[in-house]
Amino acid sequence: MSAPTPLRIVALPGIPLVQRGDDLALLISDAAERCGAKLADGHLVVCQKLVSKAEGRFVDLREVAPSEEAHRIAAEDEKDPRQVEVVLRESVRIVRRGRGVLVTETRHGFVCANAGVDLSNAPAENVAVLLPVDPDASAERLRHALEARGAGPLGVILSDTFGRPWREGLVDVAIGCSGFAPITDCRGGSDLTGRELQVTAPATADQLAAAAGLLMGKDAGIPAVWIEGVALVGSGRIGATLRDATTDLFR
């Protein structure tokens, strides 16, 4: 068995604070060039907030009129009713509430705290940043724009930081992808002893997002990371990583 390809993870520093309408492909290409990273045969992981800002996915809380439900939840959980209202608007259902935590299912199908609505590193005071409307489409547009500038082939991942059931700590996961399959299906192959693999399907997109997250701390100023050493395989949408309700034992 040959040795695995070395994994190389490169932070792309120097990307300025992004405003609505900024050319992300240009900003990322320039950052990669400055640090000597060639955006080809690898995966680009981009912080979701970078994309959301460029797409104008934010809301001024001063312009939000909270509903009765938002006021009730905010009073019980000691939260800002305006933020709660935005969370409710971005959600299809409340999954769990307790200890001041509001976990919802977004329109995309993600189950996460506050529907991904975030106030940290927002473009201004009283501004909440929302998830992209279609993270896969956002990743696809960015990939094509980078390829038009001479990059590629490459995969693009939009990442966000999620908590996890049964475990403490936060981990970056993929909420959008383009240019590769988010799950590597190993079923039908064999393990080291020759036994057929029946359920093994690594969540490649999430693994890459988590690896990039080591360099993308909230105060690091690194919204994009380039990863080499993982093959570009297949194609697909992030929905492939969402477990169907009929097979979910925890709903």
List pLDDT tens digits, range 204-247.
999 999 999 999 987 789 999 999 999 999 999 999 999 988 88
Residue 248 has pLDDT above 90, yes or no: no
CA dist 28 and 33 (Å) reads 9
pLDDT of residue 171: 96
CA dist 158 and 44 (Å) reads 9
Where in the chain are the domains?
8-57+132-240, 58-128
Interaxial angle between packed helices 81-89 and 68-77, expressed in degrees from 0 to 180 and rounded to the nearest 10: 120
Q: Say which residue, 237 or 4, is predicted with more confidence.
A: 237
The CATH superfamily holding the domain 8-57+132-240 is CofE-like (3.30.1330.100)
Counting runs of H as helices and runs of E as strands, what totals does the chain give?
Answer: 6, 10
Gap between the terminal Cα atoms of the chain: 41
Examine residue 223 and say whether the peptide bond preceding it is cis (omega within 30 degrees of 0): no
What percent of the chain stands above pLDDT 90?
Answer: 78
Do 222 and 32 form a contact (C-beta atoms < 8 A)?
no
* Structure tokens that stand for 190 in this block: 């064999």
Q: Which fold has domain 58-128?
A: CofE-like fold (3.90.1660)
pLDDT of residue 249: 82
CA dist 9 and 12 (Å) reads 10
pTM: 0.93
CA dist 95 and 85 (Å) reads 16
Identical fold for domains 8-57+132-240 and 58-128, yes or no, is: no
Mean pLDDT over 159-171 rounds to 93
Tens digits of residue pLDDT in 70-96 = 999 999 999 999 999 999 999 999 999
